[in-house]
Amino acid sequence: MTSQHQPQGENARNSRPNEIVVLVSGTGSLLQAIIDAQDENYRVVKVVADVLCQGIERAQAAGIAAEVVGMGQDRAEWNKRLVAAVDAAQPDIVVSAGFMKILGADFLSRFEGRTINTHPALLPSFKGAHGVRDALAYGVKVTGSTVHFVDAGVDTGRIIAQEPVAVRADDDEASLHERIKVVERQLIVKVLRSAQVSQESDKTISIQL
């Protein structure tokens, strides 16, 4: 599968690893998979969370810069602080890995075309926070994991890659989600290892899978 997000120029493989900032809110299991799979293609340079969480602890244990940007009362002001925290690391790619806040217009404007997210369903089906539960309730026989670009909608950005997961007759939400998570970890690593970033001032990702 091949997906391109309108590269702005010659987009050859970078001579250095792509530098990644990961956004987290919880246990950081997906973050850990990303950290463990670092190679010559990418490296995690910073982890940013909206709350103090295990994801921050995982980053610190790996010697990676970590910062908590708490929400507070003013969402617009929080978005600006989030932009500043991520921008300080000058990332090539931003990965939303279990980040539970909606990214605002300031963030999307600054990191447009290079912010990606994982979702535990085969988009465009079953968007939102309950993708696994909704797939089970609908009775589908196959669901899966999607990696997609982040835009202003909820799970509406251009799809980069997908991997199916069969639904078993005895599945509940927890068992199905655990199998999706296994695929999700493999898929995000595959995407990050394949990502090429244009060297324009406004960086844009081109994914070749």
Q: Rounded to the nearest 5°, which phi and psi values hold at 150?
A: -90, 130
Looking from the CA of 203 toward its CB, the CA atoms found within 13 Å total 19
6's tokens: 């309108």
User: Helices (H) and strands (E) in the chain — how many of each?
Assistant: 6, 10
How many residues are present in the chain? 209
Other beta carbons within 10 angstroms of residue 190's beta carbon come to 17
Helix 173-194 with 131-138: angle, nearest 10 deg: 120
Q: How far apart are alpha carbons 179 and 162 in whole angstroms?
A: 14
Active-site pick, 119, 130, 148, 177 = 119
Give dist(CA 17, CA 122) in Å, integer.
29
Would you call 119 a catalytic residue per the annotation? Answer: yes
Instruction: Name the 3-class secondary structure at 196.
Output: strand
- Helix, strand or coil, per DSSP, at residue 118: strand
Active site residues: 119
